[in-house]
Chains A and B, each alone.
Chain A
């Protein structure tokens, strides 16, 4: 068991073998079983005792911070100040091709745009029916928001949440995992175009991305009409097309500039900018919306 743990911690085995410790360690998998079997052959008991003590020490040192479910786990590769704190104003990291690397865990600076995406956008160019729907939703204090029933937030609302998202910038696609409600997006960067027709509209839509200088520009379409763009209830239709420009300003700061283009709901495109900050030294937590007691009490006015 102890050796199994040491082996999981990783990197020790070559170090030990390099020092002539007589460890023979075989790990095997049997069928589809997830059990791991570790067989150890030890030739010299004194050396083995030294190894055991070392193993205990390593386990104690390494396992102590793990109780927090990786909430406080130190992220590798982050520039740090001499006192060890993340240097969040360090320069934007870049990929081998010179483009910004957006990899990391991010969260919106404020929940203002979750409440009202147009909080700083000035008058929204509603189509008359859309304004009527918006005013009705506001008058009812947003009681019918599908998010309150644990439905996905859709795009662009996922950029406004008080829960983090994690970006993986991979060859051919950029993947974003959203903590809240366990959502994800695949943003294809392999040169494909968005379909012109969407036979299967979805909550998070279909996304393609490309670089415009240092901005990662994501076009999303093919979304269903079932989500609201904010708690206030800005409506949209199946014609919604969202452009997000991800601008990583420095190591710890990013802006997502959102353009809403939905000619059936708005007479012209309108924009909002949602500032994000990096969350260093943590990980996403599971968030399954599993026991939602609110809908029964959402009465509105």
Chain B
């Protein structure tokens, strides 16, 4: 097991590699439309506008609310209307969903990171 899978297995109750393709990174800049604060994964939904002005809705999977809360985040740490940049990996099946490795606000501040250092709660 390499380091990357070690870190990722922490956040998921399922095999990361069976769902997402880490060799196909995505960077999504968009407006938050909804936050689902629910186990086993919190999700944020984004409207992403391409260069031609076409809007696509993306779902981005985060760690569980429990891990996020133990890392100091709350359900209202991010709100609908916030503009964020999500870096992650797209689903292998081509769906417009991604695993969110990082979520950053416009000023670069990171939100909703949970245990991405690979540590269990301490």
Cross-chain contact B122 with A279 (CB below 8 angstroms) = yes
B14 touches A298 (CB 8 A): yes
Partner of B13, one of A140, A150, A279, A291: A150
A to B contact number (C-beta, < 8 Å): 111
From B26-34, B48-56, B88-96, B100-108, the one touching the partner chain is: B88-96
Given known A107-B121, A115-B5, contact A293–B41 (CB-CB < 8 A): yes
Chain A CB within 10 Å, residue with most, of B5, B6, B14, B122: B14
Let me know if A71 is at the binding interface, CB within 8 A: yes
Known: A114-B9, A279-B122. A142 touches B18 (CB 8 A): yes
A297 adjacent to B19 (CB under 8 Å): yes
Binds B, one of A89-97, A167-175, A282-290: A282-290
Against A, the Cβ 8 Å flags (1 = close, 0 = not) of B9-46 are 11101110111000000000000000010111101000
Least Cβ distance of B88 to chain A in Å? 14
B67 within 8 A of A: yes
Question: Please, which residue of chain B has its CB at the minimum distance from the CB of A71?
Answer: B69
**Inside 8 A of A17's CB, which chain B residues have their CB?**
none
The one of B38, B41, B66 that contacts A285, using a Cβ cutoff of 8 Å: B66
By the criterion CB–CB under 8 Å, are A150 and B6 in contact? no
A-side interface mostly: loop
Instruction: Please count how many residues in chain B sit with their CB below 8 Å of the partner chain's CB atoms.
Output: 35
Q: Which of A68, A143, A162 interacts with B121 by CB under 8 Å?
A: A162
Report B77-122 residues with CB < 8 Å from chain A CB: 91-93, 95, 97, 115, 118, 120-122
A289 touches B14 (CB 8 A): no
Determine which residue in A282, A288, A291 has the highest number of CB atoms from chain B within 10 A of its CB, and name it. A291
Please name all residues of chain A whose beta carbon is closer than 8 Å to the beta carbon of B1 when the two chains form the complex: 112, 115-116, 119
- How far is it, in angstroms, between the C-alpha of A293 and the C-alpha of B60 when the chains are bound? 11
Within 8 A of B (CB), among A72-92: none
Q: Which residues of A contact B39 (CB under 8 A)?
A: 287-291
Q: Which of B40, B70, B115 is close to A289, meaning CB atoms less than 8 Å apart? A: B40
Question: From A284, which residue of chain B is reached at the shortest CB distance?
Answer: B66
Please give the distance in Å from B110's CB to the nearest CB on chain A.
20
Query: Would A297 and B120 count as touching, CB distance under 8 A?
Result: no
Say yes or no: A147 contacts B10, CB within 8 Å. no
The reply to whether A141 and B41 contact each other, CB–CB distance below 8 Å, is no
B19 engages A291 (CB within 8 Å)? no
Q: How far is the CA of A293 from the CA of B61 in the complex (A)?
A: 9
In the complex formed, the residue of A with least CB distance to B95 is A297
Shortest A286–chain B CB gap in Å is: 8
A110 CB contact (under 8 Å) in B67, B69, B93, B120: B120
1/0 per position for A51-70, CB-CB distance to B under 8 A? 00000000000000000110
- Complex alpha-carbon distance, A59 and B70, angstroms: 25
* Residues in A neighbouring B15, C-beta threshold 8 A: 141-143, 145, 148, 231, 298
A133 within 8 A of B: no
Q: Given A148-B15, A297-B95, check contact A179 B66 (CB 8 Å).
A: yes
Q: Given A115-B6, A294-B19, output 17 extra A-B contacts at Cβ < 8 Å.
A: A69-B69, A71-B69, A107-B120, A111-B120, A142-B14, A142-B17, A145-B15, A147-B14, A180-B13, A289-B39, A289-B40, A291-B36, A291-B39, A294-B40, A297-B93, A297-B97, A300-B18
Tell me the B residues contacting A by CB distance below 8 Å: 1, 5-6, 9-11, 13-15, 17-19, 36, 38-41, 43, 59, 61, 64, 66-67, 69-70, 91-93, 95, 97, 115, 118, 120-122
> Which positions in A face B, CB cutoff 8 Å?
68-69, 71, 107-112, 114-116, 119, 140-143, 145, 147-148, 150, 162-164, 179-180, 231, 277, 279, 282, 285, 287-294, 297-300
Query: Could you name 26 residue pairs across A and B whose Cβ atoms are closer than 8 Å?
Result: A68-B69, A71-B70, A109-B120, A111-B6, A111-B10, A111-B120, A115-B5, A115-B6, A115-B9, A116-B1, A140-B18, A142-B14, A142-B17, A143-B19, A150-B13, A162-B115, A162-B121, A163-B64, A163-B66, A231-B9, A288-B39, A289-B13, A291-B40, A297-B93, A298-B19, A299-B18
